[in-house]
Amino acid sequence: MDVTFRFLGPDEGNVLTEAIEAAYGTTYDVRWVYDPLEVGARLADGRYVSCVAETASGELLCHEGMSLAAAGDAVAHSGQAVTLEEARGQHLFTRTKQVLMDWGQERVYSEATAAHPYSQKANIELGAHETGFLLGWIPASVDNDAAVANAARRNSAALFYTKLNDGHDRRVYAPERHHEMVGQTLALCELRGTLAQPPPDFELAEGTELHTEVDTDHNLALITVAVPGADLEEVIAAQRHHLFHRARLDAIYIDLPLDTPATALVADHLERLGVSYSGIFPNPRADGDVLRMQSLHRVRVKVNDVAVASEHGRELLDYVLADMERRD
Across the chain, mean pLDDT equals: 84
The answer to whether residues 94 and 187 belong to one domain is no
Q: Structural domain of residue 294, as residue ranges? A: 170-327
Please say whether the beta carbons of 5 and 96 come within 8 A: yes
Q: How high is the pLDDT of residue 281?
A: 81
- Residues contacting 290, CB < 8 A, separation 6+: 224, 255, 256, 257, 258, 280, 281, 282, 283
- 66 and 212 in a single domain? The answer is no
**What is the model's pLDDT at position 118?**
60
Strand (E) or helix (H) holding 241: helix 232-241
The domain boundary residue, chosen from 80, 104, 128:
104
Residue 147 has a pLDDT of 43
Cβ neighbors of 142 (< 8 A, separation 6 or more) are 24, 27, 28, 29, 151, 155
The H or E element spanning position 41 is: helix 36-45
Give the model's pLDDT for residue 285: 61
Instruction: Indicate whether 18 belongs to any domain.
Output: yes
- For residues 253 and 220, the answer to whether their CB atoms sit within 8 Å is yes
Secondary-structure breakdown of the chain: helix, strand, coil percentages, each rounded to the nearest 5: 35, 30, 35
Q: Is-contact 139 154, C-beta < 8 A?
A: yes
Please report the DSSP string for 90-116 in residue order.
S-HHHHHHHHHHHH--SEEEEEEESSS
Residue 123 lies in a domain: no
Which pLDDT does position 136 carry in this prediction?
A: 85
Within 10 A of 317 (CB to CB), how many other CB atoms are there? 22
Asked if residue 195 belongs to a domain, the reply is: yes
Spans of the chain, pLDDT less than 70: 1, 70-75, 104-119, 141-153, 164-168, 283-287, 327-328
Sign of CA dihedral 280, 281, 287, 288: positive
Question: Domain boundary at 65, 82, 104, which?
Answer: 104
pTM exceeds cut of 0.85: no
Quick one: DSSP state of residue 30? -
Residue 18 has what pLDDT? Answer: 93
* Predicted pLDDT at 317: 92
Spatial neighbors of 87 by CB under 8 A, at least 6 apart, are: 53, 61, 62
Give a yes or no: residue 141 inside a domain.
no
CB atoms within 10 A of CB 104: 17
C-alpha 48 chain-centroid distance = 16
112 within domain boundaries: no
80 lies in a domain? yes
How does pLDDT run across 271-294, given as a tens digit for each residue? 889 899 999 987 666 567 899 999
CATH number, residue 98: 3.40.630.30
What is the pairing mode between strands 48-55 and 60-67?
antiparallel
Q: Is residue 241 part of a domain?
A: yes
Q: Give the whole-angstrom CA distance, residue 163 versus residue 75.
A: 10
| Helix (H) / strand (E) containing 72 | none
Cα angle at 28 between 120 and 143, to 5 degrees? 75
Question: Are 185 and 100 found together in one domain?
Answer: no
pLDDT at 112: 54
Give the Å distances, CA to CA, from 124 to 129, 169, 244. 6, 25, 35
Does any domain span residue 74?
Answer: yes
44: exposed, middle or buried (Cβ count in 10 Å: 0-12, 13-18, 19+): middle
Domain boundary among 69, 89, 104: 104
Amino acid at 56: A
Report which DSSP code applies to 205.
B
Provide the number of structural domains found in the chain: 2
Do 180 and 99 share a structural domain? no
